Amino acid sequence: MLELVGFGSDSAATHEVATRLGGMAYANHPTERDERPYSAMIRVATDNVEAVRSVSDVGMYVCFSRVIKAPVTEPTAERSIATFGLVRNPAMTHRQCDDHWRDTHGPLALRMHLAMCDYSQLAVVDTIHGQVLDGIAMCAFSTRSDLSEKFFNDDDAKRAIIKDVNTFSDAAGSPPRVVLQQLI
């Protein structure tokens, strides 16, 4: 499904727009540092570009949403979502990067992040404004401590993920991870 995805700095306004448009709103997890590149995120299937733009002061994207792992349980207030902006490896085209991310990295992530309770890949179709991205990964864990302590199964899983990420992404050029909580 195509969605408008926005990164912003006003979580209350993002929540209001997402509620009005039937979308999803996210805000910085209380443990996140303020200097992260954004503190709110909206995802919504809509043609109301102006409403989404109004809360997307950091960046706005048209994305194709892929569920790699459907939610195991209903979202709770404790659930924490690590979001990763993806800038492709410059040696690859967008299509090559996205194919690898979907077909190779997705299945690998399911094996290496066993505590992950939900995983979606938002493949960027177009950057409306903000940093040009090729994708946005959303990796959910039941609690913030699970995300911190059980992100990887073990050291071998960590090495496998890092090695694979470096084949299809520009890790240094990608924005830092932001941990969010889903508001709606």
Q: Which domains does the chain have, with CATH numbers?
A: 2-182 (3.30.70.100)
In tens, the pLDDT along 109-127 reads 999 999 999 999 999 999 9
Q: Among the listed ranges 33-42, 61-70, 81-90, 157-166, which one has the minimum average pLDDT value?
A: 33-42
In tens, the pLDDT along 55-104 reads 999 999 999 999 999 987 777 778 899 999 999 999 999 999 999 999 99
Q: How far apart are CA 17 and CA 36, in angstroms?
A: 22
The answer to whether the beta carbons of residues 116 and 153 sit under 8 Å apart is no
pLDDT of 31:
84
